[in-house]
Amino acid sequence: MRRPFFPFWAAALLFLCLPLGAQEFPVDDPVIQAIWEEGMENSQAYDLSQVLADSIGPRLTGSPAYEAGADWVIGKFRQWGLEGRREEYGTWPSWDRGITHADLLEPRVRSLDAMMLAWSPGTDGPVTAEVVAFPQEFTPQEMEDFLATVDGKFVLMGPAEITCRPDENWEEYATEESFQRMRERRDAIRDGWRSSLREAGVSSRSGPADRIEEAGALGILTSSWPNGWGVRRVFSASTEAIPTLSLGCEDYGLLYRLAVNDQSPLLRVEAEAEWGDPAPTFNVIGEMRGTEKPDEYIVLSAHFDTWDGGSGATDNNSGTVNMMETLRILSEVYPNPKRTIIAGLWDSEEQGLNGSRAFVADNPEIVENIHAVFNQDNGTGRVVRISMQGFTGAGAYFGKWLSAVPGEITRHIDLTIPGNPGRGGSDYASFVCAGVPAFSLSSLSWAYGPYTWHTDMDTFDKLVMDDVKNNATLTAMLVYLASEEVEMLPRDQRALGMNPRTGEPMSWPQCRQPARTGEGYFNR
C-alpha cells in the first residue's frame, strides 16, 4: 500500500499543536495547583504594573499622585471583593512637580538632561544666568571668597566626574595602568572635595547648599552618578527658596568644564513646582478576613511611595504589584483563609520606614498576633534568597512550605538560617524589631543598584514580567501554606554574639518612632 504524502511542515504544525507537558507539583494540593494557574496563566501583573508606572506615575510622599494611586489601589481591592482603606498617621508637605527645562545658550546651544530634585522650589518663569563652579578643593576662607561671587548665578555644587564611562567599560578596554591612573585621579578629586567640606564645617549630606542660597544664587546644579551609562540618582532638595536641579553625568561635566576653563556658560532654566497645604500621610490597606483564626494575621508588605526621578517601577511598583496580585490570586482560589490576610502598602518608606513604623506603633493588638510578614522591596527580579532574620524556629517552616512549591520557583531560592535581624533597609525591619517574624523576599539584581535604584531610569520597561509573575505566585503559595498552619510561627530569637568591630555584645534591634510630619525630615 502506498504511504500517504505527509509534508514536513504539516508534521511541524502537528507537533506545535500537541499539548506541552503539564506543570508538575510536588504535592497533591488543589489550592497550590489553582494558585499556579491563576498566577502564571491568568496574571494581571502586567496591567497593574503598567497603570502604576505609566498612568499614575511616581508617588512621592505628600504628592497628589500618591493620593491618586491610593484611590486606584483601594478601588482594585474593592473590585476583587476585598476591604480596602486608608490608615492615616500624620502629615507631609504637599508638593507637585511640573516641567523642568534647562538649556545651555552660550558658548553653544544645547538642551540639557536636567530635572528638579524632589521638594525643590521652582523658578518664576524662565531664568537666564551665568554658571559658576564651586572649587574642587578650598579652605574655609576660599569658600567665603567664592560665595561672595555667586549672587545672581547658577552654581555647580561639587566637581564633575572625570569620566561617565562605567568602571566595567574601563575594565574591558583600558590598559591596567590607564585604569589605575583614572581611579587614582578620581579618588583624589573626591577625597579633596570631602576633606574641604569637613574643614569648612559643611554637612556632607547637603553640601554648602544653604550657604549658596543665602549668598543670593539663582539655583544650584548637582549630579549624583551611580556608575552606569546615562543614569543618575534623584533624591530631595536642600534649598528653601531657589531650585536645585539634578543633571546627567555628561551634561554636568560639560557645564563644569566650561565654567572652570573660563568659557562663560550661560544657562536658561524654567522649573515648575506647586506647593500646597500639608497633606495627610497614610498607608493603603487591603484585607481578607480570616474564618477560623480571624485575630491572627499574615501581612503582605511593600512600600507604596516612590522617589519621582523615574516611574518607581522597580522601587517599589514591583513589590506593590506582587502584594496586590497575591491578594487577588488568593481572593480567587482561597477566598476563606483561616487567618486574616492584610496587604500593607506603606507610605514614606524612602524617608525612614515611616509608614510601617507607624503601623507597628499604632496597632499593638495586631502586631502581637502577626503570624508572619512577607516583604518585597529590591527590584523586579525573581526571589532568590530568604533570610530567617534571626528567628530560630522559622527555618523548619520555610523548608516545609517550599517543599510544596513547584521546583520551577524553588530552584532559585536559598534560605539563610537562622540569619540576622534586619535593622533597616526596608519595611520588614519595622516588624523584626518588635519581635515579629518578618521576612524579606530578596530578588535577583537585574543591575538594580546602578540603573534603577532611585534613578531616572526606574521605568516600566525595566520590569521583567516573568519574574514578577513568579514572585506573586510564590508569595501567594507561602501565604496560603502559612495560613493553614495549626500554630503561629515561634518568635524565638538567636543569640547574636559579639560585634566584630567593637567587641561588645550585639543586641536585637530596637524599634524607632516614625516621623509623623515632614518637619523632622526637612530640618535634619
State the pLDDT at residue 19: 42
Mind listing the pLDDT tens digit for each residue in 315-363? 999 999 999 999 999 999 999 999 999 999 999 999 999 999 999 999 9
Q: Report the SS3 class of residue 103.
A: strand
- Rounded to the nearest 5°, which phi and psi values hold at 439? -130, 135
Using CA atoms, how far apart are residues 268 and 105, in angstroms rounded to an integer? 7
Q: In this structure, are 385 and 448 located in the same domain?
A: yes
The pLDDT tens digits for 103-143 are: 999 999 999 999 999 999 999 999 999 999 999 999 999 99
Q: Count how many domains the chain has.
A: 2
Confirm whether 516 is domain-assigned: no
| C-alpha cell read off for 72 | 486606584
Q: Is residue 393 part of a domain?
A: yes
Indicate which CATH number applies to the domain containing 182.
3.50.30
**Residue bearing the bigger pLDDT, 434 or 206:** 434
Are residues 90 and 112 both part of a single domain?
no
Q: Name the DSSP class of 485.
A: -
Q: Say yes or no to pLDDT of 385 above 70.
A: yes
Model confidence pLDDT, tens digit, residues 226-246: 999 999 999 999 999 999 999
User: In the predicted model, what is the mean pLDDT of residues 431-436?
Assistant: 98
Indicate if 226 and 291 belong to the same structural domain. Answer: no
What single letter denotes the amino acid at residue 455? T
pLDDT at 23: 86
Share of the chain above pLDDT 90, in %: 91
How far, rounded to the nearest angstrom, does the alpha carbon of residue 211 sit from its chain's CA centroid? 31
Q: What is the pLDDT of residue 523?
A: 52
| Residue 307, CA distances (Å) to 57, 68, 277, 350 in order | 10, 16, 20, 7
User: Do residues 55 and 123 share a domain?
Assistant: no
Mean pLDDT for all residues in the chain: 94
Same domain? For 295 and 369 the reply is yes
Residue matched to cell numbers 536585637: 508
Measured between alpha carbons, how far is residue 329 from residues 36, 147, 250, 318, 441 in Å?
9, 59, 45, 16, 18
CB atoms within 10 A of CB 466: 13
Residue 114 forms part of a structural domain: yes
Q: Is the pLDDT of residue 21 over 80?
A: no
Domain contains 488:
no
Q: Helices marked H in 308-441 — which ranges?
A: 318-333, 354-362, 364-367, 394-402, 407-410, 428-432
89 and 159 share one domain: no
Residue 196's pLDDT is what?
A: 95
Residue-by-residue DSSP string for 149-182? T-TTSEEE-SPPPS--S-HHHHHHHS-HHHHHHH
Instruction: Verify that 160 and 197 share a domain, yes or no.
Output: yes
Q: State yes or no: pLDDT of 471 exceeds 80.
A: yes
Predicted local distance difference test score (pLDDT) of residue 308: 94
Task: Say yes or no: 181 and 324 in one domain.
Answer: no
Percentage of residues in the chain having pLDDT higher than 70: 95
Note whether 366 and 472 are same-domain residues. Answer: yes
Across the range 403-429, mean pLDDT stands at 96
Name the residue type at position 178: S
The answer to whether residue 102 sits within a structural domain is no
Mean pLDDT of 268-295: 97
Residue 5 lies in a domain: no
Q: Is the pLDDT of residue 9 over 70?
A: no
* Domain edge (last residue) among 209, 241, 264: 264
pLDDT of residue 348: 97
Instruction: Look at 93-107, 172-186, 204-218 and tell me which has the smallest mean pLDDT.
Output: 204-218
**Pair 146, 134: CB distance under 8 Å:** yes
pLDDT band at residue 522 under the 50/70/90 scheme: low
Give yes or no for residue 195 having a pLDDT over 60: yes
DSSP H stretches of helix in 235-367 = 249-260, 318-333, 354-362, 364-367
3-state SS record for 1-31: CCCCCCCHHHHHHHHHHCCCCCCCCCCCCHH
pLDDT score of 5: 37
C-alpha cell at 494: 538567636
pLDDT at res. 521: 75
Task: State the residue for C-alpha cell 516612590.
Answer: 306
pLDDT of residue 503: 87
Predicted pLDDT at 482:
98
Predicted TM-score (pTM) of the model is: 0.92
Burial of 322 (0-12, 13-18, 19+ CB in 10 A): buried
**305 and 414 housed in the same domain:** yes
C-alpha cell at 453: 535604584
In a domain, 270, yes or no: no
By residue range, what is the domain housing residue 152?
Answer: 108-264
Residue 370 pairs in a beta bridge with 297
Answer whether residue 63 shows pLDDT above 80. Answer: yes
Closest residue by Cα to residue 384 from 418, 405, 410: 410
At 189 the pLDDT is 97
Mean pLDDT of 429-449: 97
> What does the pLDDT read at residue 520?
67
Give residue-wise pLDDT tens across range 250-275. 999 999 999 999 999 999 999 999 99
Predicted confidence (pLDDT) per residue in 476-504, tens digit: 999 999 999 999 999 999 999 888 888 88
In a domain, 498, yes or no: no
**E strand segments, 231-338:** 244-247, 266-288, 293-303
Please give the Cα distance from 300 to 481 (Å, whole number): 14
Burial of residue 375 (number of CB atoms within 10 Å: 0-12, 13-18, 19+): buried
Is the domain of 333 the same as that of 217? Answer: no
Phi/psi class of residue 454: alpha, beta or left (left: φ > 0; alpha: ψ in -120 to 50)?
A: left
pLDDT at 7: 41
Q: Which of 313, 476, 425, 303 is nearest to 380 (CA)?
A: 313
The reported pLDDT for the residue numbered 501 is: 86
Query: How is residue 150 written as a grid cell?
Result: 555667586
Mean predicted confidence (pLDDT) in 202-226: 91
